[in-house]
């Protein structure tokens, strides 16, 4: 592309005019004209030496491939004023190869998400994993959240506190956003992530909340206080005594 020069994209099939996306449309282009099978662009400021502006167009018929994507760049001596866009349909062989590749990726992902993945990542070694039940669960359900049960897990390079949470009937949906884990002397432990096996807990629903910490640097079996809260910070789980 070059400034003050028209470039015509001519497509072999009808395009969805409303779907056309032009990066920098309001600030970098004097003209963006979309027809049934054409797209005309005129830039006021051409891309810098390492800059790429993306243009994305969706075909109206929905056939594959559904989109055409272009990267607009500049060149010291070349300008494309006419671009013929041909959509080649995928052959059965190409689709079968793509499906086989996706199947292989899915199988690898399944393996990596299980015990094999723990070993390959170095998160499970000859030291194994120790687990302890969370025995001291506070009674009651402040903020409409009840802790049913829990366990603490510890390996050489990671630790997990896992609790089953019940969002009582009639309560608003709830999802964990952050967690605080502290030793009994008040020293905080770095929390790496907070996960739940559901996107959120609706009224009356139960779910597992897992809090992952940094590599344990403390003596095995030490007590911690755990607090998990939602995005607003208004609905918090009770403070738990967790052994990790």
| Cα(56)–Cα(68) distance, integer angstroms | 6
Which has more confidence, 219 or 27? 27
Strand stretches in 73-222, DSSP E: 82-85, 130-133, 145-154, 159-167, 178-183, 188-189, 191-196, 206-213
Q: Enter the tokens of residue 17.
A: 């005019």
Q: Comparing C-alpha atoms, which of 35, 48, 39, 33 is closest to residue 2?
A: 48
Q: What top-level class would CATH report for the domain 130-243?
A: mainly beta
Predicted TM-score (pTM) of this structure:
0.54
Smallest Cα–Cα separation from 169: which of 203, 205, 206? 203
Please state the rounded mean pLDDT for residues 67-93: 88
Residue 38 pLDDT grade (very low, low, confident, very high; cuts 50, 70, 90): very high
Token representation of residue 81: 């004023």
Q: Model confidence over 151-171: pLDDT tens digits?
A: 988 888 889 999 999 999 999
Residues of the chain with CATH 2.60.40.10: 130-243
Q: Average pLDDT of 121-145?
A: 77
State residue 116's pLDDT score. Answer: 65
Omega prior to 65 cis, within 30 of 0: yes
pLDDT beyond 70 at 114: no
Of 48-52, 71-75, 113-117, which range is least confident?
113-117
171 SS3 class: coil
Tokens of 52: 């790429």
């Amino acid at each position: 592309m070059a400034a003050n020069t028209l470039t015509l994209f001519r497509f072999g099939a009808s395009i969805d005019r409303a779907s056309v996306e032009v990066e920098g449309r309001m600030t970098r282009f004097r003209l963006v004209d979309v027809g049934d099978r054409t797209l005309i662009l005129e830039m006021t400021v051409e891309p810098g030496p390492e800059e790429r502006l993306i243009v994305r167009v969706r075909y109206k018929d929905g056939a594959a491939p559904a989109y055409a994507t272009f990267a607009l760049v500049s060149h010291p001596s070349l300008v494309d004023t006419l671009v013929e866009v041909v959509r080649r349909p995928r052959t059965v062989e190409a689709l079968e190869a793509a499906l086989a590749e996706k199947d292989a990726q899915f199988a690898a992902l399944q393996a990596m998400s299980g015990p094999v993945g723990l070993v390959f990542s170095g998160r499970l070694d000859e030291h194994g994993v120790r687990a302890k039940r969370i025995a001291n669960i506070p009674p009651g359900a402040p903020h409409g959240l009840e802790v049913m049960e829990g366990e603490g897990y510890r390996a050489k390079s990671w630790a997990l506190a896992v609790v089953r949470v019940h969002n009582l009937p009639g309560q608003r949906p709830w999802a964990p956003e952050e967690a605080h884990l502290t030793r009994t002397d008040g020293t905080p432990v770095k929390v790496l992530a907070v996960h739940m096996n559901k996107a959120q807990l609706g009224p009356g629903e139960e779910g597992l909340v897992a809090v992952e910490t940094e590599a344990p640097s403390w003596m095995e079996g030490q007590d911690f206080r755990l607090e998990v809260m939602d995005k607003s910070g208004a609905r918090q789980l009770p403070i738990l005594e967790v052994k990790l």
